[in-house]
Structure 1
Amino acid sequence: MAKSPRLTELEKRLGYKFSDKALLERALTHVSAAGAHTGANYQRLEFLGDRVLGLVVAEVLCRTFQEATEGELSRRLAELVRKESCAEVAIAWEVGPHLRLGASEMQSGGRKNTAILADICESILGAIFIDGGYNAAKAVIEEAFRERVTAPRRPLHDAKTALQEWAQGLGLPTPVYDLVERTGPDHAPQFRIAARVSGRADSIGHGPSKRVAEQNAAQGLLIREGVWKENGDDKN
Protein backbone atom coordinates (compact mmCIF):
# COMPACT_ATOMS: atom_id res chain seq x y z
CA MET A 1 0.00 0.00 0.00
CA ALA A 2 1.45 3.33 -1.08
CA LYS A 3 2.21 5.92 1.54
CA SER A 4 0.98 9.47 1.43
CA PRO A 5 3.57 12.20 0.78
CA ARG A 6 2.91 13.54 4.28
CA LEU A 7 4.17 10.35 5.88
CA THR A 8 7.19 10.50 3.63
CA GLU A 9 7.85 13.98 5.01
CA LEU A 10 7.56 12.58 8.52
CA GLU A 11 10.13 9.92 7.69
CA LYS A 12 12.51 12.65 6.57
CA ARG A 13 12.12 14.41 9.91
CA LEU A 14 12.67 11.13 11.72
CA GLY A 15 15.78 10.42 9.68
CA TYR A 16 14.55 6.90 8.97
CA LYS A 17 12.78 5.28 6.02
CA PHE A 18 10.53 2.33 6.84
CA SER A 19 10.65 -0.89 4.89
CA ASP A 20 7.35 -2.03 6.41
CA LYS A 21 5.13 1.00 5.85
CA ALA A 22 2.32 -0.43 7.97
CA LEU A 23 4.48 -0.22 11.10
CA LEU A 24 4.64 3.56 10.94
CA GLU A 25 0.92 3.76 10.29
CA ARG A 26 0.22 1.57 13.33
CA ALA A 27 2.62 3.64 15.46
CA LEU A 28 0.49 6.70 14.69
CA THR A 29 -2.86 5.04 15.45
CA HIS A 30 -4.45 5.80 18.83
CA VAL A 31 -6.68 3.22 20.50
CA SER A 32 -9.65 5.56 19.99
CA ALA A 33 -9.24 5.14 16.23
CA ALA A 34 -8.45 1.44 16.26
CA GLY A 35 -11.30 0.34 18.50
CA ALA A 36 -10.87 -2.90 20.41
CA HIS A 37 -8.27 -4.32 18.01
CA THR A 38 -5.09 -4.10 20.13
CA GLY A 39 -2.84 -5.07 17.25
CA ALA A 40 -4.10 -2.15 15.18
CA ASN A 41 -3.08 0.62 17.59
CA TYR A 42 0.22 1.89 18.92
CA GLN A 43 0.08 0.46 22.45
CA ARG A 44 2.30 -2.60 21.93
CA LEU A 45 4.80 -0.55 19.92
CA GLU A 46 4.83 2.09 22.68
CA PHE A 47 5.58 -0.63 25.25
CA LEU A 48 8.55 -1.81 23.19
CA GLY A 49 9.75 1.68 22.32
CA ASP A 50 9.82 2.68 25.98
CA ARG A 51 12.33 -0.11 26.69
CA VAL A 52 14.41 0.62 23.61
CA LEU A 53 14.57 4.30 24.53
CA GLY A 54 15.66 3.53 28.07
CA LEU A 55 18.42 1.19 26.92
CA VAL A 56 19.80 3.56 24.28
CA VAL A 57 19.72 6.58 26.57
CA ALA A 58 21.41 4.61 29.37
CA GLU A 59 24.15 3.58 26.93
CA VAL A 60 24.60 7.18 25.72
CA LEU A 61 24.77 8.52 29.28
CA CYS A 62 27.39 5.98 30.34
CA ARG A 63 29.49 6.91 27.33
CA THR A 64 29.03 10.67 27.73
CA PHE A 65 29.42 10.99 31.51
CA GLN A 66 32.14 8.49 32.31
CA GLU A 67 32.84 9.91 35.77
CA ALA A 68 29.19 10.18 36.84
CA THR A 69 27.85 8.18 39.75
CA GLU A 70 25.00 5.72 39.38
CA GLY A 71 22.76 8.23 41.14
CA GLU A 72 23.53 11.01 38.68
CA LEU A 73 23.07 8.69 35.71
CA SER A 74 19.70 7.60 37.08
CA ARG A 75 18.57 11.20 37.46
CA ARG A 76 19.68 12.07 33.95
CA LEU A 77 17.91 9.01 32.57
CA ALA A 78 14.68 9.86 34.38
CA GLU A 79 14.81 13.42 33.02
CA LEU A 80 15.37 12.30 29.44
CA VAL A 81 12.70 9.60 29.24
CA ARG A 82 9.92 11.38 31.16
CA LYS A 83 6.74 11.98 29.18
CA GLU A 84 7.33 15.72 28.78
CA SER A 85 10.71 15.10 27.12
CA CYS A 86 9.27 12.47 24.79
CA ALA A 87 6.39 14.79 23.90
CA GLU A 88 8.88 17.53 23.00
CA VAL A 89 10.62 15.12 20.64
CA ALA A 90 7.28 14.19 19.04
CA ILE A 91 6.50 17.89 18.59
CA ALA A 92 9.89 18.43 16.95
CA TRP A 93 9.05 15.58 14.58
CA GLU A 94 5.71 17.32 13.89
CA VAL A 95 3.73 14.13 14.40
CA GLY A 96 0.52 15.89 15.43
CA PRO A 97 -1.06 16.17 11.97
CA HIS A 98 -0.28 12.51 11.28
CA LEU A 99 -1.99 11.06 14.34
CA ARG A 100 -4.95 8.77 13.74
CA LEU A 101 -7.45 9.63 16.45
CA GLY A 102 -11.05 8.83 17.22
CA ALA A 103 -13.62 11.60 17.09
CA SER A 104 -13.62 12.16 20.85
CA GLU A 105 -9.84 12.51 21.06
CA MET A 106 -9.79 14.87 18.10
CA GLN A 107 -12.42 17.08 19.69
CA SER A 108 -10.55 17.16 23.01
CA GLY A 109 -7.28 18.31 21.42
CA GLY A 110 -5.56 14.94 21.26
CA ARG A 111 -3.07 16.10 18.64
CA LYS A 112 -1.53 18.38 21.28
CA ASN A 113 -2.02 16.09 24.29
CA THR A 114 1.31 15.60 26.10
CA ALA A 115 0.57 12.02 27.16
CA ILE A 116 -0.48 10.96 23.66
CA LEU A 117 2.50 12.68 22.04
CA ALA A 118 4.86 10.99 24.49
CA ASP A 119 3.32 7.60 23.71
CA ILE A 120 3.59 8.28 19.98
CA CYS A 121 7.28 9.13 20.33
CA GLU A 122 7.89 5.77 21.98
CA SER A 123 5.65 3.86 19.58
CA ILE A 124 7.57 5.25 16.61
CA LEU A 125 10.83 4.15 18.23
CA GLY A 126 9.37 0.70 18.79
CA ALA A 127 8.32 0.55 15.15
CA ILE A 128 11.80 1.56 14.01
CA PHE A 129 13.33 -1.12 16.24
CA ILE A 130 11.13 -3.81 14.67
CA ASP A 131 11.66 -2.50 11.15
CA GLY A 132 15.37 -1.78 11.24
CA GLY A 133 16.82 -3.22 14.43
CA TYR A 134 18.61 -1.76 17.43
CA ASN A 135 21.18 0.29 15.55
CA ALA A 136 18.51 2.02 13.48
CA ALA A 137 16.53 2.94 16.59
CA LYS A 138 19.72 4.01 18.34
CA ALA A 139 20.64 6.40 15.52
CA VAL A 140 17.22 8.05 15.60
CA ILE A 141 17.25 8.36 19.40
CA GLU A 142 20.77 9.77 19.55
CA GLU A 143 19.88 12.45 17.01
CA ALA A 144 16.54 13.34 18.59
CA PHE A 145 17.84 13.50 22.16
CA ARG A 146 21.34 14.82 21.44
CA GLU A 147 20.92 18.32 22.89
CA ARG A 148 18.85 17.10 25.83
CA VAL A 149 21.61 14.71 26.94
CA THR A 150 24.04 17.52 27.68
CA ALA A 151 21.52 20.25 28.54
CA PRO A 152 18.71 18.87 30.72
CA ARG A 153 15.65 21.12 30.95
CA ARG A 154 15.31 20.79 34.75
CA PRO A 155 17.80 20.70 37.63
CA LEU A 156 19.04 17.16 38.17
CA HIS A 157 19.19 17.59 41.93
CA ASP A 158 16.90 19.06 44.49
CA ALA A 159 18.87 20.53 47.39
CA LYS A 160 17.82 18.00 50.02
CA THR A 161 18.71 15.05 47.80
CA ALA A 162 22.06 16.63 46.89
CA LEU A 163 22.84 17.34 50.54
CA GLN A 164 22.04 13.77 51.55
CA GLU A 165 24.23 12.33 48.79
CA TRP A 166 27.07 14.69 49.71
CA ALA A 167 26.88 13.72 53.38
CA GLN A 168 26.75 10.01 52.56
CA GLY A 169 29.74 10.44 50.26
CA LEU A 170 31.71 11.73 53.25
CA GLY A 171 30.54 8.86 55.44
CA LEU A 172 28.37 11.16 57.55
CA PRO A 173 24.89 10.46 58.93
CA THR A 174 21.81 11.55 57.00
CA PRO A 175 21.12 15.29 57.42
CA VAL A 176 18.32 16.25 59.79
CA TYR A 177 15.96 19.23 59.67
CA ASP A 178 14.63 20.94 62.79
CA LEU A 179 11.99 23.62 63.09
CA VAL A 180 13.58 26.70 64.66
CA GLU A 181 10.65 29.09 64.52
CA ARG A 182 7.17 29.49 63.08
CA THR A 183 5.82 32.99 62.73
CA GLY A 184 2.97 34.82 61.00
CA PRO A 185 -0.78 34.17 60.91
CA ASP A 186 -2.24 30.77 60.06
CA HIS A 187 -3.10 31.86 56.51
CA ALA A 188 0.43 33.15 55.80
CA PRO A 189 2.95 31.35 58.02
CA GLN A 190 6.72 31.66 57.81
CA PHE A 191 9.08 28.89 58.86
CA ARG A 192 12.73 28.89 59.89
CA ILE A 193 14.33 25.45 59.52
CA ALA A 194 17.83 24.37 60.48
CA ALA A 195 19.62 21.86 58.26
CA ARG A 196 22.10 19.91 60.35
CA VAL A 197 25.00 17.76 59.16
CA SER A 198 27.35 16.18 61.67
CA GLY A 199 30.52 18.22 62.14
CA ARG A 200 29.21 21.20 60.15
CA ALA A 201 27.59 24.43 61.30
CA ASP A 202 23.82 24.58 60.91
CA SER A 203 22.28 26.28 57.90
CA ILE A 204 19.03 28.18 58.38
CA GLY A 205 16.41 28.34 55.67
CA HIS A 206 13.24 30.44 55.48
CA GLY A 207 10.04 29.82 53.60
CA PRO A 208 6.23 29.85 53.57
CA SER A 209 6.18 26.09 54.18
CA LYS A 210 8.39 23.58 55.93
CA ARG A 211 9.26 21.97 52.61
CA VAL A 212 10.46 25.22 51.06
CA ALA A 213 12.37 26.21 54.19
CA GLU A 214 14.09 22.81 54.30
CA GLN A 215 15.14 23.10 50.64
CA ASN A 216 16.49 26.60 51.26
CA ALA A 217 18.38 25.44 54.34
CA ALA A 218 19.90 22.52 52.42
CA GLN A 219 20.87 24.77 49.53
CA GLY A 220 22.50 27.27 51.88
CA LEU A 221 24.63 24.55 53.42
CA LEU A 222 25.65 23.20 50.01
CA ILE A 223 26.67 26.66 48.84
CA ARG A 224 28.58 27.38 52.02
CA GLU A 225 30.49 24.11 51.74
CA GLY A 226 31.34 24.82 48.10
CA VAL A 227 29.30 21.90 46.77
CA TRP A 228 26.91 24.15 44.86
CA LYS A 229 27.42 27.48 43.17
CA GLU A 230 25.31 30.49 44.12
CA ASN A 231 22.73 29.70 41.42
CA GLY A 232 22.15 26.26 42.92
CA ASP A 233 23.93 24.28 40.22
CA ASP A 234 25.96 21.22 41.07
CA LYS A 235 29.68 22.03 40.70
CA ASN A 236 30.21 18.67 39.11
Structure 2
Amino acid sequence: MDQFDVVDIRNRIGYTFKDGSLLLCAFTHSSFANEHGVKSNERLEFLGDSIVNMVVAEALFLRYPDRDEGFLSKARAQIVSTRSLARTVERIGISRYLRCGGGNAGASIRNNAAVKADLFESVVGAMMIDAGDIAVCKSFITDKLKDALQYDYTGDNVTDFKSKLIEHCAQKGRSVRFVTVPTPDAPSPDFTSEVVVDDRVLGKGRAASKKKAEQAAAKCAAESLKL
Protein backbone atom coordinates (compact mmCIF):
# COMPACT_ATOMS: atom_id res chain seq x y z
CA MET A 1 0.00 0.00 0.00
CA ASP A 2 1.25 3.49 -0.85
CA GLN A 3 1.41 5.95 2.04
CA PHE A 4 -2.04 7.49 2.47
CA ASP A 5 -1.83 10.77 0.56
CA VAL A 6 -4.86 12.95 1.23
CA VAL A 7 -3.76 15.64 -1.23
CA ASP A 8 -3.29 13.19 -4.09
CA ILE A 9 -6.63 11.53 -3.39
CA ARG A 10 -8.32 14.93 -3.28
CA ASN A 11 -6.84 15.85 -6.64
CA ARG A 12 -7.86 12.55 -8.19
CA ILE A 13 -11.47 12.55 -6.98
CA GLY A 14 -11.95 16.30 -7.25
CA TYR A 15 -13.39 16.76 -3.78
CA THR A 16 -11.98 18.03 -0.47
CA PHE A 17 -13.34 16.32 2.63
CA LYS A 18 -14.16 18.48 5.63
CA ASP A 19 -14.05 15.40 7.85
CA GLY A 20 -10.84 13.52 7.14
CA SER A 21 -11.99 10.52 9.17
CA LEU A 22 -14.72 9.84 6.60
CA LEU A 23 -12.18 9.74 3.80
CA LEU A 24 -9.98 7.38 5.83
CA CYS A 25 -12.96 5.13 6.55
CA ALA A 26 -13.88 5.01 2.86
CA PHE A 27 -10.44 3.55 2.16
CA THR A 28 -10.55 0.96 4.97
CA HIS A 29 -11.17 -2.62 3.83
CA SER A 30 -12.79 -5.02 6.29
CA SER A 31 -9.55 -7.04 6.52
CA PHE A 32 -7.75 -3.98 7.90
CA ALA A 33 -10.67 -3.03 10.14
CA ASN A 34 -10.77 -6.48 11.71
CA GLU A 35 -7.04 -6.45 12.44
CA HIS A 36 -6.94 -2.94 13.89
CA GLY A 37 -10.34 -2.59 15.55
CA VAL A 38 -11.56 0.30 13.40
CA LYS A 39 -14.60 0.83 11.18
CA SER A 40 -14.56 -0.59 7.65
CA ASN A 41 -15.96 1.07 4.54
CA GLU A 42 -18.85 -1.40 4.26
CA ARG A 43 -21.56 0.94 5.60
CA LEU A 44 -20.36 3.75 3.32
CA GLU A 45 -20.33 1.28 0.44
CA PHE A 46 -23.97 0.38 1.22
CA LEU A 47 -24.97 4.03 1.03
CA GLY A 48 -22.87 4.74 -2.03
CA ASP A 49 -24.30 1.77 -3.91
CA SER A 50 -27.81 3.20 -3.60
CA ILE A 51 -26.69 6.66 -4.66
CA VAL A 52 -24.76 5.42 -7.71
CA ASN A 53 -27.75 3.38 -8.84
CA MET A 54 -30.13 6.31 -8.37
CA VAL A 55 -27.92 8.82 -10.22
CA VAL A 56 -27.36 6.45 -13.14
CA ALA A 57 -31.05 5.54 -13.25
CA GLU A 58 -32.04 9.22 -13.41
CA ALA A 59 -29.50 9.92 -16.17
CA LEU A 60 -30.82 7.04 -18.28
CA PHE A 61 -34.45 7.96 -17.56
CA LEU A 62 -33.89 11.47 -18.89
CA ARG A 63 -31.75 10.41 -21.85
CA TYR A 64 -34.12 7.71 -23.13
CA PRO A 65 -37.67 9.05 -22.57
CA ASP A 66 -39.27 6.47 -24.88
CA ARG A 67 -37.55 3.30 -23.65
CA ASP A 68 -39.14 0.80 -21.27
CA GLU A 69 -38.06 -0.37 -17.83
CA GLY A 70 -36.33 -3.46 -19.19
CA PHE A 71 -34.09 -1.42 -21.47
CA LEU A 72 -33.24 1.07 -18.72
CA SER A 73 -32.45 -1.70 -16.23
CA LYS A 74 -30.18 -3.47 -18.69
CA ALA A 75 -28.29 -0.27 -19.51
CA ARG A 76 -27.91 0.61 -15.83
CA ALA A 77 -26.61 -2.89 -15.05
CA GLN A 78 -23.81 -2.39 -17.57
CA ILE A 79 -22.86 1.02 -16.22
CA VAL A 80 -22.78 0.05 -12.53
CA SER A 81 -21.33 -3.43 -13.04
CA THR A 82 -18.33 -4.54 -11.01
CA ARG A 83 -16.21 -4.45 -14.16
CA SER A 84 -17.26 -0.90 -15.03
CA LEU A 85 -16.72 0.55 -11.55
CA ALA A 86 -13.43 -1.31 -11.11
CA ARG A 87 -12.11 0.13 -14.37
CA THR A 88 -13.18 3.58 -13.25
CA VAL A 89 -11.23 3.23 -10.00
CA GLU A 90 -8.20 2.03 -11.97
CA ARG A 91 -8.45 5.07 -14.23
CA ILE A 92 -8.74 7.45 -11.25
CA GLY A 93 -5.76 5.72 -9.64
CA ILE A 94 -6.91 5.51 -6.01
CA SER A 95 -6.96 1.78 -5.22
CA ARG A 96 -3.28 1.97 -4.19
CA TYR A 97 -4.40 3.82 -1.05
CA LEU A 98 -6.90 1.20 0.12
CA ARG A 99 -5.96 0.05 3.63
CA CYS A 100 -5.96 -3.75 3.72
CA GLY A 101 -4.93 -6.34 6.30
CA GLY A 102 -3.39 -9.72 5.79
CA GLY A 103 0.19 -8.60 5.22
CA ASN A 104 1.31 -9.60 1.74
CA ALA A 105 -2.25 -10.58 0.87
CA GLY A 106 -3.13 -6.89 0.80
CA ALA A 107 -1.89 -6.52 -2.77
CA SER A 108 -4.21 -9.23 -4.06
CA ILE A 109 -7.13 -7.67 -2.17
CA ARG A 110 -6.47 -4.29 -3.80
CA ASN A 111 -6.30 -5.87 -7.25
CA ASN A 112 -9.67 -7.58 -6.83
CA ALA A 113 -12.27 -6.04 -9.17
CA ALA A 114 -15.10 -6.33 -6.64
CA VAL A 115 -13.01 -4.58 -4.00
CA LYS A 116 -12.25 -1.74 -6.41
CA ALA A 117 -15.94 -1.38 -7.25
CA ASP A 118 -16.75 -1.30 -3.53
CA LEU A 119 -14.16 1.46 -3.08
CA PHE A 120 -15.89 3.61 -5.70
CA GLU A 121 -19.20 3.20 -3.87
CA SER A 122 -17.70 3.85 -0.43
CA VAL A 123 -16.13 7.10 -1.67
CA VAL A 124 -19.54 8.20 -2.94
CA GLY A 125 -21.13 7.31 0.40
CA ALA A 126 -18.46 9.24 2.28
CA MET A 127 -19.00 12.27 0.04
CA MET A 128 -22.72 12.19 0.79
CA ILE A 129 -22.20 12.18 4.56
CA ASP A 130 -19.44 14.79 4.41
CA ALA A 131 -21.17 17.23 2.04
CA GLY A 132 -24.77 16.53 3.02
CA ASP A 133 -25.62 17.31 -0.59
CA ILE A 134 -26.43 14.68 -3.18
CA ALA A 135 -25.53 17.17 -5.93
CA VAL A 136 -21.87 16.70 -4.95
CA CYS A 137 -22.20 12.94 -5.41
CA LYS A 138 -24.06 13.40 -8.67
CA SER A 139 -21.31 15.61 -10.05
CA PHE A 140 -18.64 13.05 -9.12
CA ILE A 141 -20.56 10.07 -10.52
CA THR A 142 -21.53 11.68 -13.81
CA ASP A 143 -17.97 12.90 -14.33
CA LYS A 144 -16.22 9.62 -13.54
CA LEU A 145 -18.78 7.48 -15.41
CA LYS A 146 -19.08 9.95 -18.27
CA ASP A 147 -18.01 7.57 -21.04
CA ALA A 148 -20.40 4.84 -19.91
CA LEU A 149 -23.28 7.30 -19.55
CA GLN A 150 -22.67 8.75 -23.02
CA TYR A 151 -22.53 5.35 -24.73
CA ASP A 152 -25.43 4.77 -27.15
CA TYR A 153 -27.40 1.88 -25.66
CA THR A 154 -30.01 2.04 -28.44
CA GLY A 155 -27.62 0.38 -30.90
CA ASP A 156 -28.10 -3.12 -32.23
CA ASN A 157 -28.72 -5.97 -29.83
CA VAL A 158 -25.18 -7.30 -30.22
CA THR A 159 -24.44 -5.23 -27.12
CA ASP A 160 -26.41 -7.82 -25.18
CA PHE A 161 -24.00 -10.56 -26.24
CA LYS A 162 -21.04 -8.76 -24.73
CA SER A 163 -22.74 -8.11 -21.40
CA LYS A 164 -24.14 -11.65 -21.35
CA LEU A 165 -20.68 -13.11 -21.95
CA ILE A 166 -19.04 -10.97 -19.27
CA GLU A 167 -21.77 -11.82 -16.76
CA HIS A 168 -21.52 -15.54 -17.54
CA CYS A 169 -17.73 -15.57 -17.09
CA ALA A 170 -17.98 -13.62 -13.82
CA GLN A 171 -20.48 -16.13 -12.44
CA LYS A 172 -18.28 -19.06 -13.45
CA GLY A 173 -15.06 -17.48 -12.20
CA ARG A 174 -13.59 -17.41 -15.70
CA SER A 175 -11.42 -14.63 -17.09
CA VAL A 176 -12.51 -12.77 -20.22
CA ARG A 177 -10.74 -10.09 -22.22
CA PHE A 178 -10.98 -8.48 -25.64
CA VAL A 179 -7.99 -7.94 -27.92
CA THR A 180 -8.95 -5.35 -30.53
CA VAL A 181 -6.58 -3.93 -33.15
CA PRO A 182 -6.84 -2.09 -36.49
CA THR A 183 -7.19 -4.56 -39.35
CA PRO A 184 -3.92 -4.58 -41.36
CA ASP A 185 -4.13 -3.12 -44.89
CA ALA A 186 -7.84 -2.38 -44.58
CA PRO A 187 -9.01 0.19 -47.19
CA SER A 188 -11.11 2.08 -44.64
CA PRO A 189 -11.39 2.27 -40.83
CA ASP A 190 -11.66 -1.36 -39.81
CA PHE A 191 -11.00 -3.31 -36.62
CA THR A 192 -10.56 -6.94 -35.73
CA SER A 193 -11.37 -8.21 -32.25
CA GLU A 194 -10.76 -11.50 -30.46
CA VAL A 195 -12.48 -12.47 -27.23
CA VAL A 196 -10.25 -14.58 -25.00
CA VAL A 197 -11.82 -16.70 -22.27
CA ASP A 198 -9.37 -18.42 -19.91
CA ASP A 199 -6.52 -17.81 -22.40
CA ARG A 200 -8.47 -19.45 -25.23
CA VAL A 201 -9.82 -17.52 -28.23
CA LEU A 202 -13.55 -18.25 -28.38
CA GLY A 203 -14.70 -15.65 -30.87
CA LYS A 204 -13.56 -13.21 -33.52
CA GLY A 205 -15.25 -10.18 -35.02
CA ARG A 206 -14.55 -7.48 -37.56
CA ALA A 207 -16.29 -4.13 -38.01
CA ALA A 208 -15.81 -0.46 -38.77
CA SER A 209 -15.46 0.46 -35.08
CA LYS A 210 -13.78 -1.08 -32.06
CA LYS A 211 -17.05 -1.38 -30.16
CA LYS A 212 -18.87 -3.15 -32.98
CA ALA A 213 -15.92 -5.49 -33.57
CA GLU A 214 -15.95 -6.46 -29.90
CA GLN A 215 -19.71 -6.99 -29.97
CA ALA A 216 -19.36 -9.27 -32.99
CA ALA A 217 -16.61 -11.25 -31.28
CA ALA A 218 -18.72 -11.54 -28.13
CA LYS A 219 -21.66 -12.87 -30.16
CA CYS A 220 -19.43 -15.55 -31.68
CA ALA A 221 -18.11 -16.55 -28.25
CA ALA A 222 -21.59 -16.58 -26.72
CA GLU A 223 -22.81 -18.88 -29.47
CA SER A 224 -19.78 -21.14 -28.92
CA LEU A 225 -20.68 -21.38 -25.23
CA LYS A 226 -24.37 -21.86 -26.12
CA LEU A 227 -25.44 -18.86 -24.02
Instruction: State the TM-score bracket (shorter-chain normalisation).
Output: 0.5 to 0.7
- Residue equivalent to 1:41: 40
Shift of residue 108, structure 1, vs aligned partner: 5.2
- Residue equivalent to 1:150: 150
Q: How does 1:1-236 map to 2 (within 5 A)?
A: 6-35=5-34, 40-104=39-103, 106-107=105-106, 109-132=108-131, 133-151=133-151, 156-158=159-161, 212=223
- For 2:18, the aligned partner's letter is S
Please tell me whether the aligned partners of residues 55 and 141 of structure 2 are also in contact (alpha carbons under 8 angstroms). yes
Mark the CA change 1:107 to 1:138 in structure 2 (over 3 Å): closer, same or farther: closer
Mark the CA change 1:152 to 1:91 in structure 2 (over 3 Å): closer, same or farther: farther
Shift of residue 144, structure 1, vs aligned partner: 0.6
- For 2:140, the aligned partner's letter is V
User: TM-score by structure 2 length?
Assistant: 0.64
Shift of residue 18, structure 1, vs aligned partner: 0.8
Mark the CA change 1:64 to 1:39 in structure 2 (over 3 Å): closer, same or farther: farther
- For 1:59, the aligned partner's letter is E
Larger radius of gyration: 1
Please tell me whether the aligned partners of residues 27 and 41 of structure 1 are also in contact (alpha carbons under 8 angstroms). yes
- For 1:151, the aligned partner's letter is Y
Please tell me whether the aligned partners of residues 52 and 80 of structure 2 are also in contact (alpha carbons under 8 angstroms). yes
Shift of residue 104, structure 1, vs aligned partner: 4.4
- For 1:61, the aligned partner's letter is L
Mark the CA change 1:68 to 1:37 in structure 2 (over 3 Å): closer, same or farther: farther
Q: State the alpha-carbon separation in 1 of the partners of residues 14 and 49 from structure 2.
A: 19
Q: State the alpha-carbon separation in 1 of the partners of residues 75 and 87 from structure 2.
A: 16
Please tell me whether the aligned partners of residues 28 and 98 of structure 2 are also in contact (alpha carbons under 8 angstroms). yes
- Unaligned segments of structure 1, at least 5 residues: 162-207, 217-236
Deviations 1:95-114 (A, max 9, x none): 12211010346455222111
Q: State the alpha-carbon separation in 2 of the partners of residues 30 and 41 from structure 1.
A: 6
Please tell me whether the aligned partners of residues 44 and 125 of structure 2 are also in contact (alpha carbons under 8 angstroms). yes
Please tell me whether the aligned partners of residues 10 and 93 of structure 1 are also in contact (alpha carbons under 8 angstroms). no
Q: Which runs of 4+ in 1 moved over 6 A?
A: 36-39, 213-216
CA RMSD for the aligned pairs?
3.2
Deviations 1:52-105 (A, max 9, x none): 000000011112222222211111110011111111111122112211010346
The secondary structure found in structure 1 opposite 2:160 is: coil
Shift of residue 6, structure 1, vs aligned partner: 2.1
- Residue equivalent to 1:172: none
Identity across the alignment (%): 30
Mark the CA change 1:98 to 1:213 in structure 2 (over 3 Å): closer, same or farther: closer
Please tell me whether the aligned partners of residues 95 and 119 of structure 2 are also in contact (alpha carbons under 8 angstroms). no
Equivalent pairs, count: 165
- Residue equivalent to 1:226: none
